[in-house]
Structure 1
Amino acid sequence: MAPGHEIAHLAHVTLLTPTLEESVRFFTDFLGLEVVGRDGDDVYLHAWDDYVHHSLTLRGHRHAGIARTTLRAFGPEQLERRVAALEAAGRGIGWVDGEPGFGRTYLFTDPDGHEFGVFYDADWYEPSDESRPALKNQAAKYPSGGVPARRLDHVNFLGQVPVDNRDFLADALGAMTTEQIVLNDGTVAAAWTTFGNKSYDLVYTKDNLGLSGRLHHIAFAADSRADILRACDVALDQGVFIETGPHKHAIQQTFFLYVYEPGGNRIELCNAGARLILAPDWKRVDWTELERAKGQAWGLKTIESFHTHGTPTAAELDHEAELAGTDRA
Structure 2
Amino acid sequence: MAQLENFDLAHLSAVELFTPKFEESLWFFRDLLAMREIARIGDSAYLRCWDEYEAYSIKLTASTTNGVGRTLYRATSPEALERRVAAIEASGFGHGWRDPEVGVGRSYEFEDPDGHLMSIYYDTERYIADDLDRPALKNQASAFPGRGVNVRRIDHINYLTSDVNASGAFWRDVMKTRETERVKLDNDDYGAWWFRFHQKSYDVVYSADWTGNRGRFHHLAFAPDTREDILKAADIFLENGIFIEYGPYKHAINQTFFLYVWEPGGNRIELANAGARLVLDPDSPVVEWSEAERAKGQAWGMKTVPTFHTHGTPYVENQEQIDQDAINGVRH
Partner of 2:251: 249
Shift of 1:238: 1.3
| Contact map agreement 2:256 2:276 (CA 8 A) in 1 | no
| Contact map agreement 1:3 1:173 (CA 8 A) in 2 | no
Matches within 5 A, 1:31-70: 31-70=33-72
Partner of 1:327: none
Shift of 1:20: 1.1
| Contact map agreement 2:181 2:287 (CA 8 A) in 1 | yes
- Hey, what's the Cα distance between the residues in 2 that align with 1:2 and 1:115? 28
Shift of 1:3: 5.8
Identity %: 52
| Contact map agreement 1:4 1:195 (CA 8 A) in 2 | no
* Structure 2 runs not aligned, ≥5 long: 320-332
Partner of 2:9: 7
Aligned: 1:116 with 2:118: yes
Secondary structure in structure 2 of the residue aligned to 1:315: coil
- Hey, what's the Cα distance between the residues in 2 that align with 1:111 and 1:316? 25
Q: TM-score, normalised by structure 2?
A: 0.93
- Hey, what's the Cα distance between the residues in 1 that align with 2:259 and 2:86? 39
- Hey, what's the Cα distance between the residues in 2 that align with 1:233 and 1:40? 34
Q: TM-score, normalised by structure 1?
A: 0.94
Q: Which amino acid aligns with 1:59?
A: T
- Hey, what's the Cα distance between the residues in 1 that align with 2:234 and 2:172? 36
1:214 pairs with one of 212, 216, 231: 216
Matches within 5 A, 1:1-329: 4-315=6-317
- Hey, what's the Cα distance between the residues in 2 that align with 1:99 and 1:251? 36
**Could you give the per-residue CA deviations for residues 198-221 of structure 1, whole angstroms, max 9, x where no partner exists?**
100000000001010000000001
Shift of 1:2: 7.8
- Hey, what's the Cα distance between the residues in 2 that align with 1:261 and 1:3? 38
Tell me how large the CA RMSD over aligned residues is: 1.4
- Hey, what's the Cα distance between the residues in 2 that align with 1:81 and 1:295? 40
- Hey, what's the Cα distance between the residues in 2 that align with 1:242 and 1:186? 33
Shift of 1:316: 8.8
Q: Which amino acid aligns with 1:28?
A: R
- Hey, what's the Cα distance between the residues in 2 that align with 1:15 and 1:132? 27
- Hey, what's the Cα distance between the residues in 2 that align with 1:176 and 1:60? 34
- Hey, what's the Cα distance between the residues in 1 that align with 2:239 and 2:176? 43
| Contact map agreement 1:3 1:171 (CA 8 A) in 2 | no
- Hey, what's the Cα distance between the residues in 1 that align with 2:187 and 2:263? 36
| Contact map agreement 1:178 1:284 (CA 8 A) in 2 | yes
Secondary structure in structure 1 of the residue aligned to 2:214: coil
Secondary structure in structure 1 of the residue aligned to 2:181: strand
Partner of 2:323: none
| Contact map agreement 1:4 1:173 (CA 8 A) in 2 | no
Q: Which amino acid aligns with 1:199?
A: S
**Could you give the per-residue CA deviations for residues 22-59 of structure 1, whole angstroms, max 9, x where no partner exists?**
11110011111000111011100000111110011001
Q: Which amino acid aligns with 1:275?
A: R
- Hey, what's the Cα distance between the residues in 2 that align with 1:72 and 1:222? 22
- Hey, what's the Cα distance between the residues in 1 that align with 2:185 and 2:111? 27
- Hey, what's the Cα distance between the residues in 2 that align with 1:24 and 1:250? 32
Shift of 1:262: 0.7
- Hey, what's the Cα distance between the residues in 1 that align with 2:145 and 2:23? 20
Cα 1:3–1:118, aligned 2, differ >3 Å: closer, same or farther? farther
Which of structure 1's runs of 4+ aligned residues deviate more than 4 A? none
Secondary structure in structure 1 of the residue aligned to 2:300: coil
- Hey, what's the Cα distance between the residues in 1 that align with 2:30 and 2:306? 29
Cα 1:76–1:84, aligned 2, differ >3 Å: closer, same or farther? same
- Hey, what's the Cα distance between the residues in 2 that align with 1:152 and 1:134? 22
**Could you give the per-residue CA deviations for residues 180-231 of structure 1, whole angstroms, max 9, x where no partner exists?**
0011221100000011111000000000010100000000011000000000
